[in-house]
Amino acid sequence: MFCGQNAASFPQAGSFKWKQEGGRKVPFYSRVRDDPVFAFAGLYDIWSNPAGTTLSTYTIIPTVANSLMAPVHDRMPVILRQDDEMRWLSRDPLIVDDLHWILAPYPSKGMKAYPVSERVNNT
């Protein structure tokens, strides 16, 4: 069982992944088709290091790439379906079957991905 006491969600409009093509990396932008803002599943923690400094840390949880993203990269962030976001953030325990469902790759048909200008690599 997993208890979501350190579960987090990170709102997004979309994200970038880079596809290696020969000697260059081509940026691809991906998003959820019918949802202008969605959330990635994540975890956070607040802790003190040995020097006594308080640190806030977080991570976005990856999963294997769905069929849309697989040609770009072998993994992608876990995208929370709207129905699952509150379950993920709840402090109520989740059983293994729930975790398998929530942490599975988002359905390809519900996403859109396309190459964008390489200028995203230049700040």
Summarize pLDDT for 5-21 with one digit per residue, the tens: 788 898 999 999 999 88
CATH architecture of 2-117: Alpha-Beta Complex (3.90)
Band the pLDDT of 4: cuts 50, 70, 90. Answer: low
Q: Name 82's Cβ contacts closer than 8 Å, sequence gap at least 6.
A: 35, 38
Whether the pTM exceeds 0.95: the reply is no
Q: Write the CA distances from 68 to 33, 83, 85, 107, 114, integer angstroms.
A: 12, 22, 22, 9, 10
Query: How far apart are alpha carbons 108 and 123 in whole angstroms?
Result: 30
H or E segment and range at residue 113:
strand 111-115
pLDDT tens digit sequence for 103-117? 999 999 999 999 999
Q: What is the pLDDT of residues 78-89, one digit of tens each?
A: 999 988 999 999
Q: Where along the chain do its domains lie?
A: 2-117
